[in-house]
Structure 1
């Protein structure tokens, strides 16, 4: 073994193990101990060297190791668990050390493992030879309305929820009703995490293989509870291994699509997942986390937001298309407001990257756009206050109702879950303009 100095930006150290034929050690099974820290030997038919990554500050028994074939450098902030390929490039499974991932009944497996000899991703069971357990029946959510208090903070996503459906805003941000993890939500979470880690790599390491490996590792972290408190829901999200495999392949395709939109080797982001907050009024603040902030050679800022869905279909008239785009870019214009309030200047470009397509939408931005966003947010805030004072948030029936987890308790769908009982927003004559403001 040869130790390299830790990377200052990632607190990682690399241990490079030369090919067994050159070292004279010969091949040995991964279970044997060949060093004081019990690092498993990894054998690859396509690389002369294996790169081990570990957090030096961790307990040696729980040091995390990662193999990425043919990597010459270290990977910052990649993993905190062990990912070990099985023997041979055509293996159908890659095992995880049970002592590192909490397994007690044998070696656990990582779904959507790296490509085999046939070029197709292979699925692995949670425990070898067993199908993934079916999710348990969710307990029925009982909604008991409680007195509402005005929120003390808003986020761009909360404002978007209010535009889609005022009642959804109440359920999600005032009542804070629990929402189950869905495949779409899990895919978006893992894709965002993979892209965050991806731009922590040096430019020469930003390849498709590494990006997809980061997605796999993000999925592993989600199931181990490292990304949220819903580890049990992630583990039982899919009824069968085939369902999990299809889900994973879709996620890998989204990341392949991303590389058609940008060349990650040509720039360095100024910031990733940047948290910002500012006061909109004396009573409420605006907070948000920007996926990525870029800066060009002239010092101009760009706000970038990843979307794992499809771009809007701009097939309508100019006025309708403009309304659609304004709605889609409201979140980014709110981010622009946060940037200007915190750094004293507005971005010049706002970018929406839709990975399911893929498609890139962008719009120029300046101080005037930021002020327009401020006015829209203030109008929405007044509309929210109006409904809080009335203690009533009306539903807005739309195509997104089919995906809403609160549909069983929504008054618009009480009698028949397939047909709404309320298609027109109810409001008093003195507040009709307020009531329809939440429509998309």
Structure 2
């Protein structure tokens, strides 16, 4: 199956920006814009709610700040390189050229988000930064052992997709790459800078891909032929060929998830769900599981009889 097609040449930045739920900050955030109920669902926010409803609240409704992560920031730089590499003619898409793009993409990201400089604030000699950039370069180079960009012409890169289901639920997100074969078959590709998970933990990444496939199906009327996860950390490619039944099951799951989010939004009942991942959470100081207190809930709360009460201190229980 060939996946070459004409490329549109349009890349989209800000992968995470469009996956932050409602797009509105809590009072005091984003110039004092008041908090609003969630208006759409992205794969990352759906995963947040499934992992821990209180985490979803902190990120989407309260918009609590989070410290930048070296791993996540490295992933953003690597994604930018793999997107922009296709701006060059096919013959110029080489591993050496891609590696050389890494420092420039880091500087571009730093100019957009100056707060990322704190990642290396305690690195006066630049040794940690140099090692970090070398790790990003190694990930970029490993990609060339998994795919040949000289034989690919993506139809879309960093493609923003958004659709509204018949139920009114709005789904949105960014797809790293979309390939379209001459026969019209669609392949959705996602780059992961970490290692491929063990089979028992692979469902999370596959859920994200099925989410994108559902959106593309609803937008274009075509079920993607293949979903492809490219794990740069371990040098593996995993694929899945979805069917309509797969995507209908995902749609039902998302509708149930959205109903649970709607209920939590109206009642202010966002319960924490402790897991091993809590050790990496930035919000433990606000989490009741760790002796913290959530911020005052910024949205109206539905009283027991169905009437709305004013904002209250309702947190997670």
Q: 1:335 aligns with which of 205, 212, 221?
A: 212
Match of 2:61 in 1: 174
Which consecutive residues of structure 2, in runs of 5 or more, have no partner in the other structure?
1-7, 12-27, 29-33, 293-317
Please tell me whether residue 204 in structure 1 is matched to residue 86 in structure 2.
Answer: no
| Alignment-derived partner of residue 261 in structure 1 | 146
Cα distance between partner residues in 2 of 1:157 and 1:203: 32
Residue 235 of structure 1 deviates from its aligned partner by 2.1
Whether the aligned pair in 2 keeps the contact of 1:278 and 1:341 (CA below 8 Å) is yes
1:297 pairs with 167, 176, 182, which one?
182
Residue of structure 2 in register with 1:220 after alignment: 107
How far off is 1:350 after superposition? 0.6
| Structure 1 pair 206–222 and aligned structure 2 pair: CA distance change class (3 A) | same
The equivalent position to 2:274 in structure 1, one of 387, 397, 414, is 397
Q: Which residue of 2 aligns with 1:310?
A: 195
Q: CA deviation at 1:149?
A: 5.3
Residue 298 of structure 1: CA displacement? 2.3
1:88-110 Cα distance to aligned partner (Å, 9 max, x none): xxxxxxxxxxxxxxxxxxxxxxx
Per the TM alignment, residue 399 of structure 1 is displaced from its structure 2 partner at its CA by 2.3
CA contact 1:351–1:360 (8 Å) conserved in 2: yes
Moved over 3 A (4+): 147-150, 281-284
**Residue in 1 aligned with 2:286?**
409
Shift in alpha-carbon separation, 1:224–1:150, aligned structure 2, 3 A: closer
Alpha-carbon distance between aligned partners in 1 of 2:166 and 2:57, rounded to the nearest angstrom: 21
* Counterpart check, 1:366 vs 2:243: yes
State which of 213, 228, 237 in structure 2 corresponds to 1:351.
228
Shift of 1:150: 3.4
When the two chains are superposed, the root-mean-square deviation of aligned CA atoms in Å is 2.3
Q: Which residue of 2 aligns with 1:382?
A: 259
Task: Give the 3-state SS of the residue equivalent to 2:119 in structure 1.
Answer: coil
Give the paired residue count: 262
Instruction: Quote the offset at 1:168 in angstroms.
Output: 1.1
How far the C-alpha of 1:286 sits from its partner, in A, is: 0.7
Deviations 1:97-129 (A, max 9, x none): xxxxxxxxxxxxxxxxxxxxxxxxxxxxxxxxx
Report the TM-score, using the length of structure 1 for normalisation: 0.56
1:176 deviates by 1.4
Q: Deviations 1:195-225 (Å, cap 9, x if unpaired)? A: 1101222111111111112221110112222
1:241-270 Cα shifts (integer Å, max 9, x gaps) = 111112111111111221121111112111
Deviation at 1:391, TM superposition (A): 0.6
Deviates more, 1:282-291 or 1:264-273: 282-291
Rounded to whole Å, the distance in 1 between the matches of 2:161 and 2:224 is 14
The one of 136, 146, 153 aligned to 2:40? 153
How far off is 1:408 after superposition? 2.2
Contact 2:169 2:255 in 1 (8 A): no
Segments of structure 1 that go 5 or more residues without pairing to the other structure are 1-8, 11-75, 78-141, 315-320, 416-440
Per the TM alignment, residue 372 of structure 1 is displaced from its structure 2 partner at its CA by: 1.5
Distance 1:298 1:173, change over 3 A: same
* DSSP-derived class of the 1:276 partner: strand
Contact 1:294 1:301 in 2 (8 A): yes
SS in structure 2 at match of 1:236 = helix
Map 1:31-180 to 2 at 5 A: 150-180=37-67
SS of residue in 2 equivalent to 1:306 = strand
Higher relative contact order (CA 8 A, sep 6+): 2
Give the TM-score, by structure 2 length: 0.77
User: Which of 151, 157, 171 is the matching residue for 1:272?
Assistant: 157
> More helix per residue: 1 or 2?
2
Measured at CA, do residues 280 and 176 of structure 1 come closer, stay the same or move farther in structure 2, by a change above 3 Å?
Answer: farther
1:345-399, CA deviations, whole angstroms, 9 ceiling, x for partnerless residues? 0101111111111221211112222211111111111111222232121112222
For 2:272 and 2:104, how far apart are their aligned partners in 1? Answer: 39
The structure with the larger Rg is 1
* The one of 244, 248, 253 aligned to 2:129: 244
Distance 1:337 1:184, change over 3 A: same
Q: Secondary structure at the match of 1:357?
A: coil
Distance (whole Å) between structure 2 residues aligned to residue 399 and residue 208 of structure 1: 37
